Amino acid sequence: GDSVVQTEGQVLPSEGDSLIVNCSYETTQYPSLFWYVQYPGEGPQLHLKAMKANDKGRNKGFEAMYRKETTSFHLEKDSVQESDSAVYFCALSDLGAGGSYIPTFGRGTSLIVHP
Amino acid sequence: NAGVTQTPKFQVLKTGQSMTLQCAQDMNHNSMYWYRQDPGMGLRLIYYSASEGTTDKGEVPNGYNVSRLNKREFSLRLESAAPSQTSVYFCASSGDRGVVRAFFGQGTRLTVV
């Protein structure tokens, strides 16, 4: 089945540091790729997306490039801010056996930016 | 625009009790999902429904049942709660055209003692 593997646990940069959160996926099909963000006490919400190979998703200074050749979708930002602190999930959405799109999520990365 | 609404937000159950988590969406989506979130485990799919009247098992269905009551509503039932079912439960929905992204509810924090 489909799977997503991302940088696990906590990432603890200081404000102004650059950031890369790794994400690799495995699927037999042609998925859409997503990063979701989750703030305390809330459900995950879409952060950025890429629909096909070589697309780049962008939002609030974050970027992620859909790289089919390396099956990766790393989340990057040049200069993180304290307000970026949250849990980030890499995800793919693919057609399941029953003809329904089924989102598959990584285990989440807790980003804690120190002032 | 309410999006995905879950009730209740918090619940404490005793082992062996039953309960139903309710979920409704107002976006006319065909697909609906139930996930559980546990520390270090991410979001794991319990059940999903591709359309009204159909349901399928996800990664961790044991101990749960679901009902797709109509296009708007998708409920999750715990028949005999166990401490291992202590978790945060999220309902989500998605369309099936264009950008197939998931919209999530606020979650239900369930504790089984």
pLDDT tens figures, A86-96: 999 999 988 77
Does B54 lie at the interface with A, CB-CB under 8 angstroms? yes
Q: Residue B7's pLDDT band (boundaries 50, 70, 90)?
A: very high
More confident residue, A101 or B33: B33
Average pLDDT over chain B reads: 93
CA distance B55 to B83: 25
Q: Nearest chain A Cα to B49, which residue?
A: A100
Residue carrying the six token digits 């359309």: B51
Q: How many CA atoms lie within 13 A of B52 on its CB side?
A: 9
Q: Residue B89's pLDDT band (boundaries 50, 70, 90)?
A: very high
Q: Would you mind telling me the total number of residues written for chain B in this entry?
A: 113
Do A43 and B92 count as a contact with CB atoms less than 8 A apart? yes
Average pLDDT over residues B14-42: 94
Q: Residue B99's pLDDT band (boundaries 50, 70, 90)?
A: low
pLDDT tens for residues A16-45? 999 999 999 998 888 999 999 999 999 999
Whose CA is closest to A106, among A18, A11, A12, A21?
A21
DSSP B26: S
CA distance A109 to B77: 30
Of all residues in chain B, the percent with pLDDT exceeding 90 is 83
CA distances from B42 to A48, A72, A87, A91, B84 (A): 18, 18, 10, 11, 16
Asked if residue B47 lies in contact with residue B34, where contact means CB atoms within 8 angstroms, the answer is: yes
β-pair partners for B65: B77
Does B39 lie at the interface with A, CB-CB under 8 angstroms? no
Residue carrying the six token digits 């089984």: B112
Does A40 lie at the interface with B, CB-CB under 8 angstroms? no
Does A52 lie at the interface with B, CB-CB under 8 angstroms? no
How far does Cα A12 stand from its chain's mean position?
17
Q: Does B45 have pLDDT greater than 80?
A: yes
pLDDT tens for residues A48-83? 999 999 999 999 999 999 999 999 999 999 999 999
Burial label, A110 (beta-carbon count in 10 A; 0-12, 13-18, 19+): middle
Chains A, B: CB pairs < 8 Å: 72
Q: Does B100 have pLDDT greater than 80?
A: no
Asked if residue B66 lies in contact with residue B76, where contact means CB atoms within 8 angstroms, the answer is: yes
